[in-house]
Chains A and B, each alone.
Chain A
Amino acid sequence: MEPFRRYIPVAVLIVLVVAVQVTTRLTDTSYYLTQLTMTAYYYLVVIGLCALMGYAGQISLGHAGFFAIGGYISAGLTTHNLIGLQDNALVALLHKFSLLVERQDLYGDTLLTVQPWAACIAAVLLAVLIAFILGGPILRLKGHYLAMATLGFGIIIAQIVLATQYFGEADGLSEVPPFRLFGPIEVSGSFGSRVQNYYIAWGLLTVGVVLLLNLINSRVGRALRSIHGSEEAANAMGVNTARYKLYTFVLSAAFAALAGVFLTHYNGSIGPSEAGVMKSVRYVALVAVGGMANLWGALIMGTILNFLSLRGVFGSYDDAVFGLILIVIMLFAPNGILSIKVRGLLARLSSKGEQNPGEQNA
């Protein structure tokens, strides 16, 4: 049936996810799962950005900022000890509604911190709020101007986390506690829960993919593509283009913030590099490599590249490799690497040496 055909690749994805886990188990290489888990969380950012860039046609060079808001707020709330503020009316109130939790730190001292789930909600809500306030004015900009404005936002967030004591300045925040989802299932980097966390991450990503696939194939998705196709015509046909762009921006910010929350609990820490501009550029590069308006292309290419990057294959040249990829993609495969027909590419490369193909027709 039509509304379900789109789930076939999702089923393939689930099978692959399980197959990879089983393979690592059989070949005793389950340490790969750590990078694959992190990849899935970064990918949550990328698919959200894919909806914004590929479908609504709006660029953002500031999504590491939203990721950092998610990660830092949840890290800050779950690590900062409120025990000294116990008499504060607000803290007492939060405690009363069991939004706070008491636990022991490594040295046996009692810590009073915000519950991870409450911190998660607060972090994502804050990112959504900021995206809402920011998106209103800046989404009126187009092209280069929008790129510059979002870049500015990314730089501001990066500088704030670097300069604020609460966020640990250059050291970032560490000793972020596990995030207990339900029962024994928790997001943490502990050795014993590696397999479990691999499935949490890919499960969350799969849910994200399904939600976005549905959206893209809906009335709203058509409206988003129409904005990309011709904003003026979309508006004349009754699409509230400003609102649709804003909602998509907010949605992608929420995906990024959620990814930030989960990855921070998984790593047990977050540092200022997560908020850096290079991270934002990398997200954009991954969307581009996949072919902008292609969720699956972004997923496949991004998983490979991110995994290699996290495994340290590119060494210190990591950012340089992503920069190079961006240039090559824009030159040879603006519709994404999966769209290349190898023969066509070879023909193009060989014709470069002899003569410009445009001149043949002239």
Chain B
Amino acid sequence: MNRMLELHNVHKYFGGLHAVNDVSFTVSRGAIKAVIGPNGAGKTTLFNLIAGVLEPTAGTILFKEQPIQGWKPHQVAALGMSRTFQNIKLFHGMTALENVMLGRHVRSRAGFLAGMLNLPGTWREERAIRSRALELLELMEIGEFADVEATSLSFGQQRAVEMARALATDPEILLLDEPAAGLNIYETAEVARLISRIRDMGITVLLVEHDMSLVMEISDEIVVLCFGEKIAEDVPETIQRDPEVIKIYLGEDEEVSG
């Protein structure tokens, strides 16, 4: 089972807008794959289709060879897919540790009744949840902020909390939505290091990104979207030289050079 995630002819319409047009690609197990494209290319829509936030108008999405289109996000999460958000969505009013502990939700069991009765079985589970969450905060190098309210941390640290929270769900694939958005170059380099570390844990990564330096540095393969269509898919070196991609990113360069 080498194909972790497959998209086959996926379409999404919003009324008359064809936001995603016949997009197909495959993410192999253990790879870092990036989706790039100018603003409005349909990157985030594509992400939301994969994560179950939106349902494709047509096409098939297979995760671990199982069709998941039409599933709810929490069902996809239970199957082993997790994500971060472009505009960070941490739980306000909860500490960094509690945020990450929530990530263990899908891998733990205590329900309403067990919770209300404070059954001894839940204590063991809570201890395990807490220690795993602390471990992940350490891994993301923010262990010292465990008891700080998550939304009061710096932007870069918040990204790290989000990644730790996503990792807490024991994902097999992690979707990162513009992980470098709003970060300076130092923080971006930091995030790149964390992403490589996540891949070294054996987790497949699919990221949407604007920051070319990050994408070129860490991706194994890149998909380029423009106006909802896939216009290129290859390794970073080839993408960098692709004339059509250059045209999209730098505009028609005849006037500039002429």
CB of B122 within 8 A of CB of A219, answer: yes
In the complex, identify which listed stretch (A32-40, A79-87, A207-215) lies at the interface while the others stay far away.
A207-215
Interface: B245 (CB within 8 A): no
Query: How far in angstroms is the closest Cβ of chain B from A232?
Result: 6
Q: Does B169 contact A (CB under 8 A)?
A: yes
Q: In the complex, which of the residues A211, A215, A239, A240 contacts B102, with contact meaning CB atoms closer than 8 Å?
A: A239
Residues 105-123 of B, flagged 1 when their CB comes within 8 A of A and 0 if not, give 1101111101111100011
Residues of B within 8 A of A230 (CB): 89-92
Please state if A232 and B102 are interface contacts (CB–CB under 8 Å): no
A211 with B90: CB separation less than 8 A:
no
Instruction: Say how far B87's CB is from chain A's closest CB, in angstroms.
Output: 10
Tell yes or no: B125 within 8 A of A by CB: yes
Query: Which residues of chain B are near A220, meaning CB under 8 Å?
Result: 110-112, 115
Task: Name B81-108 residues within 8 Å CB distance of A.
Answer: 82-83, 85, 89-94, 98-99, 101-103, 105-106, 108
Chain B CB within 10 Å, residue with most, of A217, A223, A228, A238:
A238
Smallest beta-carbon distance A7→chain B, Å = 9
Asked if A222 and B123 make an inter-chain contact with CB atoms under 8 angstroms apart, the answer reads no
The reply to whether the CB of A199 lies closer than 8 angstroms to some CB of chain B is no
Q: Is B137 in the interface zone, CB < 8 Å from A?
A: no
- Chain A residues 216-231 with CB under 8 Å of chain B are 217-223, 225-226, 228-230
Q: How far is the CB of B190 from chain A (nearest CB, A)?
A: 22
Q: Which residues of A contact B90 (CB under 8 A)?
A: 229-230, 233
Q: When the two chains form their complex, are residues B105 and A238 in contact, meaning their CB atoms are under 8 A apart?
A: yes
Indicate with 1 or 0, residue by residue over B147-170, a CB within 8 angstroms of chain A CB atoms.
000000000000000000110010
Pick from B53, B74, B93, B94: contact of A238, CB under 8 Å: B74
Asked whether, in the complex, the Cβ of B77 is within 8 Å of the Cβ of A223, the reply is no
Please name 26 pairs of A and B residues whose Cβ atoms are closer than 8 Å in the assembled complex, sorted by A: A211-B117, A217-B115, A218-B110, A218-B114, A218-B122, A218-B126, A221-B115, A222-B98, A225-B93, A226-B99, A226-B102, A230-B89, A230-B92, A233-B90, A234-B91, A235-B77, A236-B51, A236-B73, A236-B74, A237-B77, A237-B82, A237-B105, A237-B169, A238-B78, A239-B74, A247-B112
